[in-house]
């Protein structure tokens, strides 16, 4: 019998219980003891293995995006964009690519309710013929910070107090009072969009600016946007309390039940594009993730559709061990100098190696579905079978060669080494315009959210005034409404 023929799989089950090594277990109900009363013997290997395996059942929880749900499906190109990119999976209308998607909350823990106010992760892994492309984004098109060096502090502020293990508003408002760049993100988080109805009724965004490169090497800046065909719906007021109180996994259940019933969720993919030569012409920095690109200047262009038509087979194998990294791109797609993206290129893969081990990309859910070859081997939990004698490059005994060169953006970079912020901050204009675009009732709900947050007993007078000043600079009437409301509450 070929020992490498069968990989571990539940499809190759024995009809009776065995140990991990395949030895039959004749009694899985009783420990081996001295007489009927015991004590238990250490030589009961099955007992020891069973307990030890159970003790190691949980892997480290994700620091962020711990609570999530996944589904599988396909992406189909509907519009030709080969003038923008040489990416194989976008080569022609009608081309389909298998994929898996993971939706998630961001800050809260693995077992937390899915109705809490929080950004939602929207991560898509395309299994292309040229390797995996991970489009790792959120349901909002902007982010709290523009430089990844702030990310650990930001997450610490949003996470529970390390002393009490309670998420507390004063800590969040204290941290972000130092970062007015966060105002635009808060117009999404404290808006109705802060609590989606479920995962099917929310938009997705790549957040970052990426680069598309065509076969001639021409580069184009791009932003990715997912639009649900069933529309955007949210939970407002007490709706979230009622839904979360009846089922803390309501969004996971909705996604699973919809697919099982044949009501397949679908999103349209749109892009916005910009010529990199024009990036200095605007009042905002196009690589600043705290800003959106105005759609009247950069209209949405349709690209394709994503359909989720298959539920995952196992939650642990295809959700907990599913690992995304924005560094995973394919020819025809490239990075930009976006400061947050540049740090995520390193940080995500580093996190996955900690959570899942150095060979996490060998796990079936993460492995590419195309042929792949390199000399990375051994290490913890490496289960790839290798019988090659040559594990170095180059070699006259191994005919593997370099792939054909693919174009990447090329431009001359010059400047001084320095730690600095971008020049075009412009932190207040877009949040103010967004607030003024809402209906009065939606504006009032936003004001109520801020009054509630700023009424926290541990929010200092200084921090409260900073936030009123910020919102006044975004929209004078908004700052006045918050200040007036807080004064009324304090006089009650």
- What are the residue ranges in the chain where pLDDT is below 70? 1-12, 488-492
Q: Which residues face 270 on adjacent strands?
A: 225, 302
Query: Which parts are annotated binding residues?
Result: 348
Q: What distance in Å separates the CA atoms of residue 357 and residue 360, rounded to the nearest whole number?
A: 6
Q: What pLDDT is recorded for position 10?
A: 63
Q: What pLDDT is recorded for position 16?
A: 83
Query: Which parts are annotated binding residues for heme?
Result: 348
Buried b (16+ CB within 10 A) or exposed e, 63-89: ebbbbbbbbbbbbbbeeebeebbbbbb
Please provide residue 131's backbone torsions phi and psi, each rounded to the nearest 5 degrees.
105, 175
Tokens of 30: 């009783």
Q: What distance in Å separates the CA atoms of residue 17 and residue 23, rounded to the nearest whole number?
A: 8
Asked if residue 277 has a cis previous peptide bond (ω within 30° of 0), the answer is no
Residue ranges with strand state E in 30-158: 68-77, 96-105, 120-128, 131-138
pLDDT tens readout for residues 450-469:
999 999 999 999 999 999 99
Q: What distance in Å separates the CA atoms of residue 350 and residue 329, rounded to the nearest whole number?
A: 16
Q: What Cα–Cα distance (Å) separates residue 51 from each residue in 28, 45, 55, 150, 225?
A: 12, 10, 6, 41, 47
pLDDT tens readout for residues 300-351:
999 999 999 999 999 999 999 999 999 999 999 999 999 999 999 999 999 9
Active site (catalytic) residues: 65, 138
Q: What pLDDT is recorded for position 395?
A: 86
Q: What distance in Å separates the CA atoms of residue 444 and residue 441, rounded to the nearest whole number?
A: 5
């Amino acid at each position: 019998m070929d020992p490498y023929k069968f990989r571990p799989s539940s499809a190759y089950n024995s009809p009776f219980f065995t140990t991990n090594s395949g030895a039959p277990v004749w009694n899985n109900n009783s420990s081996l003891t001295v007489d009927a009363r015991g004590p238990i013997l250490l030589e009961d290997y099955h007992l020891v293995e069973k307990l030890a395996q159970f003790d190691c059942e949980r892997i480290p929880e994700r620091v962020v995006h711990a609570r999530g749900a996944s589904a599988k499906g396909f992406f189909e190109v509907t519009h030709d964009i080969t003038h923008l990119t040489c990416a194989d999976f976008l080569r022609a209308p009608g081309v389909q690519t298998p994929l898996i998607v993971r939706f998630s909350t961001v800050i809260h823990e693995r077992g937390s309710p899915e109705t809490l106010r929080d950004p939602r992760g929207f991560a898509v892994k395309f299994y292309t013929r040229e390797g995996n492309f991970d489009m790792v984004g959120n349901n909002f098109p902007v982010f709290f910070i523009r430089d990844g060096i702030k990310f650990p502090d930001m997450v610490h502020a949003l996470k529970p107090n390390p002393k009490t293990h309670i998420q507390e508003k004063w800590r969040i408002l204290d941290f972000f009072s130092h970062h007015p760049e966060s105002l635009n993100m808060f117009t999404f988080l404290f808006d109705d969009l802060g609590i989606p109805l479920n995962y099917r009724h929310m938009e997705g965004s790549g957040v970052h600016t990426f680069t598309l490169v065509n076969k001639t090497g021409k580069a184009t800046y791009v932003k990715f946007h997912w639009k649900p065909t069933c529309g955007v719906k949210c939970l407002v007021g007490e709706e979230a309390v009622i839904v979360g109180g009846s089922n803390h996994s309501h969004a996971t259940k909705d996604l699973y039940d919809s697919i099982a019933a044949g009501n397949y969720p679908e999103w349209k993919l749109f892009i916005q594009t910009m010529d990199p030569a024009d990036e200095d012409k605007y009042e905002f920095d196009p690589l600043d993730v705290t800003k959106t690109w105005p759609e009247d200047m950069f209209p949405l262009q349709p690209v394709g559709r994503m359909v989720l038509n298959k539920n995952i087979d196992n939650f642990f194998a295809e959700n907990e061990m599913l690992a995304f990294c924005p560094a995973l791109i394919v020819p025809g797609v490239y990075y930009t100098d976006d400061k947050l993206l540049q740090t995520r290129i390193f940080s995500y893969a580093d996190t996955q190696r900690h959570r899942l081990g150095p060979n996490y990309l060998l796990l079936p859910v993460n492995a590419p579905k195309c042929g792949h070859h390199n000399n990375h081997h051994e290490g913890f939990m490496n289960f790839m079978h290798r019988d090659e004698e040559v594990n170095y490059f180059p070699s006259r005994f191994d005919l593997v060669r370099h792939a054909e060169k693919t174009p990447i953006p090329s431009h001359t970079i010059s400047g001084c080494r320095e730690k600095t912020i971008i020049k075009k901050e412009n932190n207040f204009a877009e949040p103010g315009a967004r607030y003024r675009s809402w209906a009065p009732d939606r504006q009032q709900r936003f004001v109520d959210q801020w009054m509630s947050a700023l009424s926290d007993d541990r929010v200092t007078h200084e921090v409260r005034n900073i936030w009123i000043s910020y919102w006044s600079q975004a929209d004078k009437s908004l700052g006045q409404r918050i200040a007036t409301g807080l004064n009324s509450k304090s006089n009650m």
